[in-house]
Amino acid sequence: MDRNLPIGIFDSGVGGLTVYKALHERLPNERFVYLGDTARVPYGTKSLATVERYAVENSKFLEALGIKMLVVACNTASALALPAIRRAVNVEVVGVIEPGARAAVRETPNKRIGVIATEATVQSHAYRQAISAIDRSAEVIEQACPLFVSLAEEGWSDTPVARDVAVQYLSNLNAETLGALVLGCTHYPILRKVIADVVGEGVVLIDSGQATAAEVKTFLKQSDLAHSDTSALYQERHLCDDLDHFYVTDAASRFAKVAERFLGVAPTILEAVEIWGNDELRSH
Amino acid sequence: MDRNLPIGIFDSGVGGLTVYKALHERLPNERFVYLGDTARVPYGTKSLATVERYAVENSKFLEALGIKMLVVACNTASALALPAIRRAVNVEVVGVIEPGARAAVRETPNKRIGVIATEATVQSHAYRQAISAIDRSAEVIEQACPLFVSLAEEGWSDTPVARDVAVQYLSNLNAETLGALVLGCTHYPILRKVIADVVGEGVVLIDSGQATAAEVKTFLKQSDLAHSDTSALYQERHLCDDLDHFYVTDAASRFAKVAERFLGVAPTILEAVEIWGNDELRSH
């Protein structure tokens, strides 16, 4: 495997940019190719079979571009489709659920862990299973928060409406009794401030994207796959600069607009592609 | 054309059930086949090319089942894809934009008409163009309200959060100066009460689905296509009974749950199908 290849990242849409940002911050020498499946977003309300199909198509697209490893930024795809993705591609595949689960167990002395995520992720109980596999005595309380995605994309993350919605959802978790709360959807870190206000200081917020970025860094080092170029070029990287390539399956202008909302900057290189149907890859 | 064939209805997902309900109430002798494209919902944030492709696939699927006419319940698909649909199928195609526009002009003596809809419908200016074609002096103010869809599907249509969101969006419209406000997305009638409270009694709310149902009734009569059976069987119809068939492209159980929220009853006959790729129709 060529250590100077980029790292592939896919997400159902724009939310995975929070994971890209976390990776970019920890791995300034790496290049990234990001695919947002904006033609079929969201995944969080869809079925196992459909999420698997979409995730495999996305993964094959990125593998065909040439990547040294694949980060599945989407929590729903990580929860439902990791085995299918690993069967479909020949590179190392890292999802966000297990790193998030490990970080949650580490940060929760009282062993009461809350998880907020999409409907599909909650129904899969992927976080509960991953946490139980690490510590069988941990108690996991899960809550779907579908409106958080729209609030983040609308740019309403720091508004009274967002606060009211957060109060409504988080009251089901008895947040004051929790040790940690996992932000189990890539959009939720955008609402971090409001969520932190509502749950209070005693609850540690776990950003699965951050936890994943830390584990990817360790993996690259251990596997001797870190980029070999540590020249000035790579030291002065900026988010969304022209060393990172972004692909979307639809509506690039909307993606750029929301990216700017999430990251403060839009991708320099952003291309719309078609990835569906019979393993055929068509660029338009 | 066999007048005893069902009427086809498609929507991007569950929202079109408000149009189904309006049709069912006005046309108790008719049978319906409904397709919700739940694998690819929502359309309102997607591009023209993608919405056209999805809409044409949906339309061909329903035509192949045998229908006497097609109602495009989805406002976004009606706004962006009617010409493509009409090229693709050989039955009469009715969208919801033009009936909604006609009803709005009829109900608005002061000629100031507000339109709330998805981002894609607003960007297409389909309502503005349809209204201008009827009355060039009408003033049309458009506003995208993306959060309304999540609020409706979440069952939060009559909550303080929904009210706050409505106040936020509708303040951009100077609603108190409007003659009428078009509910230009199939989900919005679910929020009718909150929207009516916020805009006040002086503004007539136009439900494009209701306007479309009225025009479909007229069309069937004029074209001699109304169902010929007026026996007791058809007089005692209920919403979602076994004379109407519902298809979804994904996640049938979630569709049934939201359908019950919207209509008070879930479909008796509900089937998941695959409709994508190279004109191939596969049932699973």
Question: For residue A176, what pLDDT is reported?
Answer: 84
Do A189 and A130 belong together in one domain? Answer: yes
Pairs of CB atoms within 8 A across A/B: 71
- By CB atoms closer than 10 A (0-12, 13-18, 19+), residue A99 is buried
Of B150, B184, B208, which residue constitutes the final position of a domain? B208
Question: Does the pLDDT of residue B277 top 70, yes or no?
Answer: no
Which chain A residues are closer than 8 Å to B39 by Cβ? 40, 46, 50
- B146 lies in a domain? yes
Q: H or E element: which one contains A128?
A: helix A126-134
- A2 lies in a domain? no
- A218 lies in a domain? yes
Question: For residue A228, what pLDDT is reported?
Answer: 86
Do A132 and A271 belong together in one domain? Answer: no
Tokens, residue A30: 């790496």
Mutation target among A76, A122, A147 for the B interface, most CBs of B within 10 A: A147
* Number of compact structural domains in chain A: 2
Which chain A residues are closer than 8 Å to B49 by Cβ? 250
Question: For residue A233, what pLDDT is reported?
Answer: 61
**With bands split at pLDDT 50, 70 and 90, how would you rate the model's confidence at B279?**
very low
Of A146, A175, A209, which residue constitutes the final position of a domain? A209
Do A79 and A215 belong together in one domain? Answer: yes
Nearest by CB to A164, from B39, B41, B164: name it: B164
Mutation target among B154, B185, B198, B249 for the A interface, most CBs of A within 10 A: B154
The arithmetic mean of pLDDT across residues B75-93, rounded, is: 98
The arithmetic mean of pLDDT across residues B43-66, rounded, is: 96
Question: Does the pLDDT of residue B57 top 60, yes or no?
Answer: yes
Of A183, A209, A235, which residue constitutes the final position of a domain? A209
> Residues B65, B4: contact at Cβ < 8 Å?
no
| AA letter at A127 | Y
Question: For residue B102, what pLDDT is reported?
Answer: 98
Question: For residue A278, what pLDDT is reported?
Answer: 44
Which chain B residues are closer than 8 Å to A198 by Cβ? none
The arithmetic mean of pLDDT across residues A25-42, rounded, is: 95
CA distance A152 to A15: 9
Do B57 and B180 belong together in one domain? Answer: no
Q: With an 8 Å Cβ cutoff, are A251 and B156 in contact?
A: no
> Residues B93, B70: contact at Cβ < 8 Å?
yes
Question: For residue B235, what pLDDT is reported?
Answer: 67
What are the Cα distances from residue B8, in Å, to A180, B19, B83?
50, 12, 17
Listing from the earlier edge strand, what are the strands of the sheet with A245-248?
Answer: A92-95, A69-72, A7-11, A32-36, A245-248, A270-274, A282-283
Task: Give the single-character DSSP code of B268.
Answer: S
Write down the ipTM of this complex.
0.90
- pLDDT tens profile B226-253: 998 777 566 678 999 999 999 999 999 9
Do B192 and B103 belong together in one domain? Answer: yes
Question: Does the pLDDT of residue B123 top 70, yes or no?
Answer: yes
Q: Cα–chain-centroid distance for residue B26?
A: 15
> Residues B186, B75: contact at Cβ < 8 Å?
yes
Which chain A residues are closer than 8 Å to B277 by Cβ? 276-278
Question: For residue A98, what pLDDT is reported?
Answer: 98
Question: Does the pLDDT of residue A119 top 60, yes or no?
Answer: yes
Listing from the earlier edge strand, what are the strands of the sheet with B180-184?
Answer: B139-144, B112-117, B180-184, B204-207
CA distance A214 to B169: 40
How crowded is residue B172: how many other Cβ atoms within 10 Å of its Cβ? 14
Q: Closest Cα to residue A38, out of A153, A158, A190, A209?
A: A153
- By CB atoms closer than 10 A (0-12, 13-18, 19+), residue B87 is exposed
Do A153 and A193 belong together in one domain? Answer: yes
Question: For residue A232, what pLDDT is reported?
Answer: 56
Rounded to the nearest angstrom, the minimum Cα separation between A279 and chain B is 12
> Residues A43, A53: contact at Cβ < 8 Å?
no
Nearest CA in chain B to A276: B277
Do B104 and B86 belong together in one domain? Answer: no
Do B89 and B219 belong together in one domain? Answer: yes
Which chain B residues are closer than 8 Å to A12 by Cβ? none
Do A110 and A62 belong together in one domain? Answer: no
- pLDDT tens profile A143-154: 999 999 999 999
Do A133 and A219 belong together in one domain? Answer: no
- A1 lies in a domain? no
Rounded to the nearest angstrom, the minimum Cα separation between B62 and chain A is 21
CA distance A51 to B38: 12
Question: For residue B233, what pLDDT is reported?
Answer: 61
Range of the domain at B81: 7-95+210-283
- B255 lies in a domain? yes
CATH code, A120: 3.40.50.1860
Mutation target among B161, B172, B185 for the A interface, most CBs of A within 10 A: B161
Question: For residue A283, what pLDDT is reported?
Answer: 36
Interface of A with B (CB under 8 A): 38-41, 45-47, 49-50, 119, 146-147, 149-151, 153-154, 156, 159-161, 164-165, 168, 250-251, 254, 276-278
- B243 lies in a domain? yes
Find out whether the peptide bond into B146 is cis, omega within 30 degrees of 0. no
The arithmetic mean of pLDDT across residues A44-69, rounded, is: 96
Task: Indicate which residues of B carry an active-site annotation.
Answer: 74, 185
Which chain A residues are closer than 8 Å to B168 by Cβ? 156, 159, 161
Question: For residue B278, what pLDDT is reported?
Answer: 44
Do A155 and A116 belong together in one domain? Answer: yes
For chain A, the average pLDDT equals: 94
- By CB atoms closer than 10 A (0-12, 13-18, 19+), residue A174 is exposed
Question: For residue A281, what pLDDT is reported?
Answer: 40
- B88 lies in a domain? yes
Identified catalytic residue from A74, A126, A183, A266: A74
Question: Does the pLDDT of residue A280 top 90, yes or no?
Answer: no
Nearest by CB to B250, from A47, A168, A278: name it: A47
Cα angle B224, B230, B232 (rounded to 5 degrees) comes to 165
The arithmetic mean of pLDDT across residues A172-186, rounded, is: 94
Question: For residue A235, what pLDDT is reported?
Answer: 67
- pLDDT tens profile B63-75: 999 999 999 999 9
Rounded to the nearest angstrom, the minimum Cα separation between A138 and chain B is 29
- B2 lies in a domain? no
CA distance A158 to A160: 7
Do A117 and A199 belong together in one domain? Answer: yes
Please name the residue ranges forming H helices in chain B: 17-26, 48-65, 75-88, 97-106, 119-124, 126-134, 147-154, 160-170, 192-199, 208-222, 232-235, 252-263
CA distance B12 to B75: 9
Question: For residue A13, what pLDDT is reported?
Answer: 96
